[in-house]
Structure 1
Amino acid sequence: MEPGDMLVESRMERKKRETRQKIIKVAMDLFQKQGFYDTTMEQIAEVADIARKTLYNHFPVKEAIVDEYVRGVSKEFAQEIIDSVKNLPDTKARLLAALDKAYAWVEINPEITGICLGYRFKNMCHGSAYNEGETGTQRIMAEIIRYGQETGEIRRDISIKLLVLQLDILRGTVVMGWLGDKSKYKLRKEIAKIVDLFIYGAVDRQESQAKAGGAITEE
């Protein structure tokens, strides 16, 4: 490949990125002004001043635009959250603080979150090739778990990827339940229970401690 070819390729990639960013901004503005379901792909293309074919080349459906927007938001605050929790005393405290901050945003943006999660679950259930890379929240959890393994708090015989997946399944179930009926429970309090379950398992620690104390007394 000639140097000139590399320059042309770089310009093409930059233009592609700028077009995607423009589409996301225009679409999110329209969703906010007139609602997600009242906005069409044709309107997005018209306001963004691009051909409909160009829009569909970047995003097949409106939900894909929302998904990329949410991914961008989560990646923006990922490093900030990681830096803010790394000095906390243990893995549980780090996960609690990190996820509390992440889900504070979710509580403020339930509709966007629901659209995004629905799109992801739909793709997974249909067996579609859906690999958009690590989300910001997944990166946060992976970093916290990695540090926990390094310090000996978290078992090392299970991969970080699998541990993050387990947390993903648990927190995804909680969020979808909350989105279906926000009166059922406080989202961040339920997420805190999920962290406790992840760290300690399903054993009732108070009951176990009481039994252990009783056994010592009998001896």
Structure 2
Amino acid sequence: MADRTARKRRQTRDHIAATAHALFERDGYEAVTMEQIAAQADVARGTLYNHFPVKEAVLVHWMHAQLEADLGTLAAEVLSRESFLSRVATLLDVSAQWWEQHRQYAAPYIRFRFQQVRDADEGEPSSGLIPLYARLVADAQKAGELRPDASPERLAFYLHFLYLAAVMTWLGTPGISLAEEFSQALAFFVQGAGQTATAPGGKKRASRRS
């Protein structure tokens, strides 16, 4: 019974998000209201707000669903690469192309994601990129590419916030390349998470080997 309820809830959320996205594409994101989404999706306003408190949450759900659908084929390509650097670079190159095609949604997405962090809101699942990052980090730690003294999950979150910061920089700086911003973010992450770390006081130390 619980599984059926959860499945029905997911179906309703997916339906609302798909309907909203069609409206965003037709009328522009800023022009669409929650009332229009409810009417077009044929759900009561109360039902809509029960699933999504704000319009940004609807958008984020649609974007995460798209990412989840794409990761199945993309993950195989990423894992075919040999090194952590080449694996994540492949993932970020595809991400940059995706954001270039959906630039109009980047600002509301970023606003909502950082609002979630501020409010510690776990109502909307995080991006499917984070579990994939964690897997890539764990593999890199076993291979000796990354320091083993932090959990893969923690390092995955650090990498994802660098990812979001790169998107923010791209949005706020006309003419720059998102692919280049991602490349710089990845280089910064690898420098900090590599096998040689900086200890308090500025001294270099070698990370423990597993």
TM range (shorter): 0.7 to 0.9
Kindly name which structure, 1 or 2, has the bigger radius of gyration based on alpha carbons: 1
Structure 2 match to 1:42: 35
Whether the 8 Å CA contact 2:170–2:181 is kept in 1: the answer is: no
Matches of 2:52 and 2:13, distance apart in 1:
9
AA aligned opposite 1:162: R
Normalised by the size of structure 1, how large is the TM-score? Answer: 0.81
Pairing 1:160–2:140 present: no
Structure 2 match to 1:15: 8
> How much does 1:54 deviate?
0.9
Deviations 1:87-120 (A, max 9, x none): 3231111111111112210111112122111111
Pairing 1:176–2:168 present: yes
Aligned length: 193
Structure 1 match to 2:102: 109
> How much does 1:197 deviate?
1.8
Identity fraction in percent: 33
Normalised by the size of structure 2, how large is the TM-score? Answer: 0.84
Matches of 1:28 and 1:80, distance apart in 2:
23
Pairing 1:121–2:114 present: yes
Whether the 8 Å CA contact 2:14–2:62 is kept in 1: the answer is: no
CA RMSD of aligned residues (A): 1.9
Matches of 1:12 and 1:199, distance apart in 2:
42
Pairing 1:194–2:185 present: yes
AA aligned opposite 2:47: T
Whether the 8 Å CA contact 1:81–1:140 is kept in 2: the answer is: no
Note the residue ranges of structure 2 that are not aligned, 5 or more in a row: 194-210
With 57-66 and 77-86 compared, the bigger mean Cα shift is at 77-86
> How much does 1:201 deviate?
4.2
Which of 76, 82, 100 does residue 89 from structure 1 map onto?
82
Deviations 1:130-169 (A, max 9, x none): 3533422212211211111121211111111221122122
AA aligned opposite 1:173: A
Task: Flag as ranges the 4+ runs of structure 1 deviating above 6 A.
Answer: none
Q: Choose between structure 1 and 2: higher helix proportion.
A: 1
Whether the 8 Å CA contact 1:82–1:143 is kept in 2: the answer is: no
**Equivalence map 1:24-103=2 (5 Å):** 24-103=17-96
